[in-house]
Amino acid sequence: ESELTAFLGYDPYARNGAYFRKIDTQFGSIEVQVPQDRNGMFHQHTLPDYKQHTDLLEDMVIKLYSKGVTTREIADLIEKMYDSHYSPAQVSNISKQMIPKVEAYHKRKLSDKFFCVYLDAAYIPLRRETFEREAVYIAIGIKPNGHKEVIDYCIAPNENIEVWTELLQNMKSRGLKQVELFLSDGVVGMKTALMQTYPKAHFQRCLV
């Protein structure tokens, strides 16, 4: 109503009509009355167009999805907690908002120097058509100031030196020019791959 008053430049004396919108919020489902002007020129901005749920629920869906909770489990949780029904397909559509963020993460400019970089692959159950354990390659760096950062990661069916070589080359092309020390387990070919990309870096095999 305040928006309509500002749009008209005066308080509407007569009833201009209204329509109702249903919005899912963290407090449950609410119905909002949106006023209209006689000429149909008023456009409100309080509620995003065509949106039927609040950002808080979207954020929760994305956070749960990033933790590995399935779309069906998220839909059930949202319904139990907030009495808002989301189908697994809706949850899947919301979670797709993460895709541009992930792509930007893999393309971001890297710091030019890390004191130490840990390289390791962890086998984690991932959902494709079915659940299968796949290798998640992870590079974690420590900067000269002590700050720890996940430099990059990638996923492959299993651990092999070809994937590690590609990950290292990608790190260098994105700005990481100098590393004092690399640590990894005994994956075959790692020392050779490091000599090709970071020949001045020291290498230490981790014991634990």
Q: List, for residues 110-131, the tens digit of each pLDDT value.
A: 999 999 999 999 998 877 767 7
For residue 170, which of 102, 99, 113, 106 has the smallest C-alpha distance? 106
Confidence category of residue 73, pLDDT binned at 50, 70, 90 = confident
20 burial level (CB within 10 Å; 0-12, 13-18, 19+): exposed
Give 21's strand partners. 32
Evaluate if pTM is beyond 0.75: no
For residue 163, which of 113, 121, 107, 203 has the smallest C-alpha distance? 121
How are the residues of the chain apportioned to helix, strand and coil, as percentages rounded to the nearest 5?
A: 35, 30, 35
Averaged pLDDT score across all residues of the chain: 83
Q: For 42-56, 63-77, 80-94, which range has the lowest pLDDT when averaged over its residues?
A: 42-56
Taking only the tens place, the pLDDT of each residue in 164-180 is 999 999 999 999 999 99
| Residue ranges of domains in the chain | 2-101, 108-205
**Longest CA–CA separation in the chain, Å:** 81
Confidence category of residue 183, pLDDT binned at 50, 70, 90 = very high
For domain 108-205, give the fold: Nucleotidyltransferase; domain 5 (3.30.420)
pLDDT for position 29: 75
Q: What would the two tokens of residue 151 be?
A: 């430099």
| DSSP secondary structure of 23-50 | EEETTEEEEEEEE--TTS-----SS-TT
91 burial level (CB within 10 Å; 0-12, 13-18, 19+): buried
